Amino acid sequence: MKQIITLLLALVTTAVIAETPIDIGGNRGFRGMYPENSIHGFVRAAKIGVNTIQMDVVISKDNQVVVSHELTMDDAICSTPDGKPLTEADKGKYKIYQMTYDEIKKFDCGQRGNSRFTDQDKEAATKPTLGEAIDAIEKYTKENSLPPVNYNIQIVSSRKGDEVMHPEPPEFAKLVYAVVQSKGVLPRTIFASLDLRILQEIHKADGSAMTGLMSEKSTDVLETNLKDLHFNPTYYMPNFLLCNKAMITKCHAQNVKVIAWTPNEITKMTALKNDGVDGIITDYPDRAIKALRPK
């Protein structure tokens, strides 16, 4: 009898996992097909039906919240205002925190394409402000009668970058939070970071704000990361290679949901869903929607 009950419980658990909708997020918008962190990429991700749009933010010299994963103009994809492609020799030369937004928006980061994503469209793309990006996405979804999307905003910060590549955490968190709040999307926004200090500042300012603790190292989530944070974030967000069923179960026991980044192969996405992950962030949200969303 005990074996039968165990089997039935396993079957029920499998069925629940299979039926639970998984949150599908577009990494940097829709990086597999469109320039990263671009308004066009964000809109295309919304168009195909993602639940969440992931983007990254940094700060300019004039305290604008700029959508960019890199703290400098990326020599692999960006060009100067006169159209000259940046090279490896220019690596780190154009620090965004030392540039005004008027200077930043003159650089193109789309027409060269991306050698890592050969299917990506080569099209003009400048770095928008966070406010501009949210406005464009909200406008598109409303005009096309699409469900509102969620936002997963990675705040790119580190201790060694303080006052050199970005403001210190209290100011950085304040600037980002203010934009999100002003746009009326706070209930749909996750503030994510690898920097525990940023999450602590967000939590201090608003205990109800959703936070996402990112991880790219093989450490124990419960005994190290959550302990150091001093509060349980809404989400734990590990690199998908670190994600497994045991870790997901531990997080769920602490009432912490799990979002994995950045699986691009359908087999990996499916395995994560079967392990019980709550969401994924992928460069190819079209693949994820086709493979993981109930027909």
205, HSE (Cβ side, Cα atoms, 13 Å): 22
Model pLDDT, residue 16: 45
The CATH class given to the 23-292 domain equals: alpha beta
Residues of the chain with pLDDT under 70: 1-20, 219-220, 222
- What is the pLDDT at residue 7? 46
Q: What is the rounded distance in angstroms from the CA atom of residue 277 to the CA atom of residue 258? A: 6
User: What confidence score (pLDDT) does residue 19 get?
Assistant: 58
> Strand, helix or coil at 215?
strand
At 221 the pLDDT is 72
Residue 50 in contact with residue 285, Cβ under 8 Å?
yes
pLDDT of residue 18: 46
Tell me the domain boundaries of the chain. 23-292
| Contact assessment for residue 75 and residue 51, using Cβ atoms and an 8 Å cutoff | no
pLDDT tens column, 55-78: 999 999 999 999 999 999 999 999
pLDDT of residue 103: 98
Burial of 3 from C-beta contacts in 10 A (0-12 / 13-18 / 19+): exposed
**How far, in Å, CA of 272 to CA of 108, rounded?**
36
pLDDT recorded at residue 23: 98
What's the confidence (pLDDT) of residue 2?
Answer: 45
